Amino acid sequence: MDTPLRKDDETPLKGIRPNIVQSIRAFRVPELQDAATALNQHFLYANLSNAQSKQDILDMIAAQYTFPAHFGKNFDALYDCMTDLVHKSGPQPGFIVVLEQIPAHAKFDKEAREQLLDIFRDAADYWADRKIPFRCFYSFL
């Protein structure tokens, strides 16, 4: 039986680098949300199980992460929203990001999945340069 993170855990996500994109394998979403709360970091969650295309994925991320209406709905705009836009809004405590059930089918193939994850890897590097934790966890459908 998995033991959820507790508020009194000394360091939630101990042993997980502060700027990383990795499979969610060992974690459950509620644990990650609790860790974000305990660390006073932003928790961004997107369930992409109903996405059928790249456009669906961008639309779902934009809606679930509450991006501004002017979001350009392409990978460059996604990167801009995950970095520049947030950076300009003021000091940031850190991020725990979840991309759950990324589709794995012909309309969103391995190359498209890697491009999506590369955006989040680049965002992790962006925040690492600013000494701000950015941990992204993902799973495939």
Q: For residue 2, name the pLDDT band (cuts at 50, 70, 90).
A: very low
2 domain-assigned: no
Tell which residue, 91, 81, 88, has the closest CA to residue 122. Answer: 81
Over residues 35-39, mean pLDDT = 95
Model's pTM, two decimal places?
0.88
List the CATH number of the domain containing 74.
3.30.370.10
- What per-residue confidence (pLDDT) applies to 10? 55
Q: Assess if residue 69 is contained within a domain.
A: yes
Domain contains 25: no
Domain count, the chain: 1
Q: Is 7 inside a domain boundary?
A: no
Averaged confidence pLDDT in the chain: 89
pLDDT in tens, 63-104: 999 898 888 889 999 999 999 877 777 789 999 999 999 998
Name the percent of the chain lying above pLDDT 90: 73
Residue 109 lies in a domain: yes
Domain membership of residue 97 (yes or no) is: yes
Burial class for 101, CB neighbours closer than 10 Å (0-12, 13-18, 19+)? middle
Under 8 Å between Cβ of 81 and 65: yes
Domain around 75: 47-140
Sequence-distant (≥ 6) Cβ neighbours of residue 105 within 8 angstroms:
none
- Of the candidates 22, 5, 8, the residue with the CA atom closest to the CA atom of residue 124: 22
CB contact at 8 A, 130 and 90: no
